[in-house]
Amino acid sequence: MELVTKPGTITYSNSEDTSKRSSTLDLTFVSERIRHTVALCEPIEPPGFTSDHRIIETLIGLRLDREHKTRRCWDKVTAKRFQQHLVPHLPPGDYPVETEDDIDHYFTKIGEALTRTMISCVPQETCGRRRKPPTVLHQIHRTIARLEDLQKTSQMTEHQDPVPPEEEIRRRIQKLEGKSWHLFTERRSDTLRKAYGLAKLARKLKQPQEGCHVPPLLHDGKYIHDDKGKTDAFVKVIFRANDDNNLTTLIPSS
């Protein structure tokens, strides 16, 4: 700490009794690191302030620097390019892994290789700023990478059995249902309360689906609760003519 009050500065007691008024020493200390930034250090007398001491106004001029956060642009690098940069940094294939220490060192070297590759291969951008549109050269590289991936996929599918149309439709429906469920859960789980509600909904969906619930029926003065009794009651009411013995079944003549 360093004293910044001007030498010889004396502040007097504000006691109402002038006979008891004595001199006091009020000091201001600041860190040596910011000593050169002190622009003002003077005692002041604000109106309405009554005390045995004075307020020393200290003005410090500091420069505030803004920290720019950055992030990696993984969409600007392809998997093939990342692998090409990663291979030279990986440990050799005959690296010893007999003991636990060897295994720890092995994974440490893999982590260091990934870090070096990320620094040298993946570009950075400043957060909060609008990204520049991709250049024509960048679009060409991305298009070439996509064409190579499609070519590999087509070569792999040539050696496989063709998928029936019904199976392909079923796969696409399952994929669409998975995406819909992902979007639904992403919107419904943004808070803790919604996340618990989503878990409760998942438990309900896991349970076997029950049949349609029909309220108890009143038939012939009796309440029917079971499904079979309700079905029989419906049949008796709708087809009540079947209980009439005077009716005969007409057999069509051949």
- 120 in a structural domain: yes
C-alpha closest to that of 11 among 51, 63, 69, 58: 51
Write the pLDDT tens digit of every residue in 201-254: 777 777 766 655 667 888 888 888 888 888 888 888 887 766 666 655 555 554
**pLDDT at residue 241, rounded to an integer:** 63
What is the H or E stretch that residue 203 is in? helix 192-206
Does 117 reside within a domain?
yes
Residue 129 within a domain: yes
| Across 93-122, average pLDDT | 89
pLDDT in tens, 56-92: 888 888 887 777 788 888 888 888 888 888 998 988 8
In a domain, 249, yes or no: no
Domain total in the chain: 2
In the listed set 143, 158, 184, which residue is the last one of a domain according to the structure? 143
Last residue in a domain, options 82, 113, 143: 143
The domain boundary, picked from 119, 143, 167, lies at: 143
- Give the range of the structural domain holding residue 91, as residue numbers without chain letter: 70-143
The pLDDT mean for the chain works out to 75
Q: Where is average pLDDT lowest: 48-52, 93-97, 116-120, 124-128?
A: 48-52
Two structure tokens written together for 206: 């896991």
For the whole model, what pTM was predicted?
0.30
Are the beta carbons of 26 and 13 closer than 8 angstroms? no
pLDDT of residue 67: 74
HSE, side-chain direction, 13 A CA sphere, residue 1: 6
